[in-house]
């Protein structure tokens, strides 16, 4: 199944390019030099627009937002089609699990260059900024830098850390202007994606090569001297379609971008006397992808992406050495899609990821991850569709334990195997009633085999299927990866008590861990109230078992703390998310609210993560004005964020308002965007992570500008 989307953006691929994010980086080059580089990029782009030329204008096919034909297109366009709920293309209102979609327009007109910041404006998503390199992202909570309850995918291919699990969005070799949409699955998705889609999944779906021919050059610079660049060339020749993107991002450290007035320190002094932020970030990325149409029934796809990052280190359990970290990521894939006949199709693909990670004070390791993935889809009759498939995953992890300050995994290297088989059955029992069944079994060498499943009943209340009621029951599991199972280390540092004493923190290797389990009962209602107005509400109750956290072990030494990673106990969760969306030729607006409650069985219980904010609400809006002006607004307000282990380590409620204004001109050859992110706050508040003794402020209000040129 190809990831060619059924949407207005595919039909009329008018160029949506974006960059720009609040951020800064670099402690190696001077800020002035960095600013000149970014400024030079913008001057070059502006000069290109000034010289004129009509070659691109005929190729853009960019609709005027004021045309009546464009108004009709929006008014009568079909509902968005999503893939991530069941690995089958479905209208979003008929999906078996709630799915939110971040479109390419949402990404482009946000002006942001950071996926974490973009995703936070969606219902049920929790996000906290630890520093400019580290973010805690979760669906319905359980989020932390090394938390692993939300699965990240790129075009349905695993993109999480093979060492810790969890998202590593900043190191992925992808470009935001190459993304067609992002699908956010809210709820257990293990029945289709396997062990790691515990609370949900984020599937980043890229544009098919050839959908936007020509060249793009875009650059963003902000008030701190941060800059982001992206150059792309895409074309189609006979049976070949390809795209090549490359770019560079540079972010200043928080301490260089702003005056860090608040630095939370809970009594640590070790490794280095410098406890000021070193969260600069320099990232070079390149990505190439291509498709070859062998004939009308067979398509070969391939791709290669490389990301190379240099960034500052951060304090982990009392160690901060002031040394730079290096992260290299290489991702590649080869895929064959075959249409057997009008009722049958299949694909098989190989994809691999190589990562080389050296984070001082945390770990130095390399990982090689190979996957073989296949799926067969058959329509038994017009009302009955079946999908069968599976994957085999082999990965090898090797660590360098020579640095005494790093966390230790003494039994490395690790050779891990993972295999899974799944089946999906979607049966339209009557014209109004549909039943979907998903079942998957997985074997993982690190723990015990397990299974996941989902059964969904969809009932259309009216003949036109504008009002659909959903009832689902699901089970999923989370299996702990190598860093959770094998971690053992001892940290010795000073605690600033009268008198100053040496304190040691020991993490002992875990006993045999069981998989975390989740059972979920869900219901929902979707309504297409008129061609422009839609409404959705989804509610759930969930039960967690065998939640993995830190267990304290008694020690005879009063200045020694011994902890062990173990299955502590269970938890329960309940909540609801509602969204009202209005779409028109003049613009779009979405109002949403999420109530996400989470309660552990024990009053004080480690989950290695933060609980979700109880209440979250937001407004996402975009207004298309005459003469090619576009105004975009994203707003979110979030309740207090709770820490299940340390109730005192909680974060006040906060809000965020982003605003951008864009102008297309010179026959759509160029676009200028200016914006401000986090308009209402001077700085971001310090967030004390689960494994940290220190935290600091990060840049808040940030003015930025972006210039894009299309050739």
Question: Is the N-terminal amide bond of 566 cis, ω within 30° of 0?
Answer: no
Return d(Cα 13, Cα 218) in angstroms, integer.
17
Angle at 387 between CA 381 and CA 393, to 5 degrees: 170
| H-helix or E-strand spanning residue 352 | strand 344-359
The full 3-state SS of 145-187, as one line of letters, equals CCCCCEEEEECCEECCCCCCCCCCHHHCCCCHHHEEEEEEEEC
Shortest CA distance to 540 belongs to which of 518, 516, 524, 517? 524
DSSP assigned state of 488: B
Residue numbers of the chain with a pLDDT score lower than 50: 1-37, 39, 43-44, 50-77, 269-273
46 CB-near residues (< 8 Å, 6+ apart): 670, 707
**Which tokens go with 487?**
């971690």
The whole-number pLDDT of residue 408 equals 75
Is the preceding peptide bond at 629 cis, omega within 30 degrees of 0? no
Helix, strand, or coil here: 651?
Answer: strand
pLDDT score recorded for residue 17: 30
pLDDT at 72: 38
Residue recorded with tokens 């965020």: 656
Q: Do 59 and 618 meet the contact criterion of CB atoms below 8 Å apart?
A: no
Q: Could you tell me the CATH superfamily of domain 8-556+567-710?
A: TonB-dependent receptor, beta-barrel domain (2.40.170.20)
The pLDDT value recorded for residue 507 is 76
Distances (CA, A) of 552 to 340, 484, 490, 549: 58, 16, 14, 10
Note the pTM of the prediction, 2 decimals: 0.89
Residues 6+ apart with CB under 8 A from 643: 610, 611, 649, 650, 690
Nearest residue to 189 (alpha-carbon basis) of 281, 105, 84: 84
CA–CA separation, 461 and 391 (whole Å) = 38
206 and 237 Cβ atoms separated by less than 8 Å: no
Q: Report in angstroms the alpha-carbon separations of 574 from 357, 398, 522, 545.
A: 37, 40, 10, 15
């Amino acid at each position: 199944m190809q990831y060619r989307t059924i949407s207005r953006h595919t039909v009329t691929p008018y160029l949506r390019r974006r960059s720009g994010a609040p951020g800064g980086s670099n402690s190696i080059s001077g800020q002035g030099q960095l600013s000149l580089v970014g400024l030079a990029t913008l001057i070059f782009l502006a000069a290109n627009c000034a010289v004129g030329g009509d070659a691109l204008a005929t190729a853009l096919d960019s609709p005027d937002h004021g045309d009546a034909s464009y108004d009709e297109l929006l008014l009568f366009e079909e509902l968005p089609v999503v893939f991530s709920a069941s690995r089958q293309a479905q209208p979003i209102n008929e999906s078996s699990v709630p799915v939110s979609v971040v479109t390419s327009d949402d990404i482009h007109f946000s002006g942001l260059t950071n996926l974490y910041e973009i995703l936070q404006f969606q219902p049920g998503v929790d996000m906290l900024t630890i520093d400019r390199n580290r973010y805690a992202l979760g669906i319905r909570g359980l989020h932390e830098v090394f938390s692993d309850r939300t699965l990240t995918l790129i075009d349905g291919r695993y993109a999480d850390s093979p060492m810790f699990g969890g998202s590593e969005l900043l190191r992925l070799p992808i470009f935001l202007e190459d993304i067609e949409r992002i699908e956010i699955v809210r709820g257990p998705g293990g029945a289709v994606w396997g062990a790691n889609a515990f609370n949900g999944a984020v599937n980043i779906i890229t544009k098919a090569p050839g959908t936007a021919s020509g060249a793009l050059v875009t650059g963003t610079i902000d008030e701190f001297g941060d800059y982001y660049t992206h150059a792309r060339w895409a074309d189609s020749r006979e049976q070949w379609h390809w795209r090549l993107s490359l770019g560079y991002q540079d972010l200043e450290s928080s301490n260089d971008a702003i005056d860090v007035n608040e630095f939370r320190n809970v009594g640590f002094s070790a490794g280095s006397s410098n406890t000021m932020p070193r969260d600069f970030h320099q990232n070079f990325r390149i990505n190439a992808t291509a498709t070859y149409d062998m004939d009308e029934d067979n398509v070969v796809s391939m791709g290669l992406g490389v990301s190379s990052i240099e960034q500052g280190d951060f304090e982990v359990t009392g160690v901060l050495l002031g040394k730079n970290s290096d992260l290299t990521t290489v991702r590649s894939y080869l895929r064959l899609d075959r249409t057997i006949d009008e009722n049958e199709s299949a694909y098989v693909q190989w994809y691999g990821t190589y990562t080389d990670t050296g984070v001082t004070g945390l770990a130095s390791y390399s990982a090689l991850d190979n996957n073989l993935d296949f799926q067969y889809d058959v329509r038994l009759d017009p009302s009955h569709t079946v999908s069968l498939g599976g994957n085999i995953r082999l990965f090898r992890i090797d660590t360098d334990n020579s640095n005494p300050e790093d966390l230790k995994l003494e039994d490395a290297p690790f050779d891990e195997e993972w295999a899974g088989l799944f089946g999906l059955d979607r049966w339209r029992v009557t014209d109004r009633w549909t039943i979907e069944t998903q079942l998957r079994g997985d074997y993982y060498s690190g723990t015990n085999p397990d299974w996941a499943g989902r059964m969904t009943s969809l009932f259309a209340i009216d003949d036109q299927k504008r009002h659909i009621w959903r009832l689902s029951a699901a089970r999923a599991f989370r299996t702990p990866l190598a860093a959770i199972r094998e971690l053992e280390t001892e940290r010795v540092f000073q605690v600033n008590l009268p008198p100053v004493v040496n304190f040691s923190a020991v993490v002992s290797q875990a006993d045999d861990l069981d998989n975390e389990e989740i059972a979920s009962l869900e219901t929902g209602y979707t309504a297409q109230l008129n061609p422009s107005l839609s409404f959705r509400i989804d509610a759930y109750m969930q039960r967690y078992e065998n939640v993995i956290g830190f267990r304290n072990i008694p020690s005879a030494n009063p200045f020694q703390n011994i902890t062990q990673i173990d299955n502590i106990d269970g938890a329960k969760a309940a909540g609801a998310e509602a969204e009202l969306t209005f779409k028109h030729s003049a613009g779009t607006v979405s109002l949403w609210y999420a109530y996400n409650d989470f309660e552990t069985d024990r009053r004080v219980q480690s989950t290695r993560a933060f609980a979700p904010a109880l209440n979250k609400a937001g407004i996402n809006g975009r207004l298309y004005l005459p003469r090619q002006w576009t105004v975009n607004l994203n707003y979110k307000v979030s309740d207090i964020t709770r820490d299940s282990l340390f109730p005192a380590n909680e974060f006040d409620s906060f809000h965020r308002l982003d605003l951008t204004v864009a102008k297309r001109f010179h026959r759509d050859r160029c676009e200028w965007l200016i914006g401000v992110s986090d308009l209402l706050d001077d700085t971001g508040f310090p967030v004390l992570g689960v494994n940290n003794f220190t935290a600091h402020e990060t840049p808040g209000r940030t003015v930025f500008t972006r210039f894009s040129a299309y050739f």
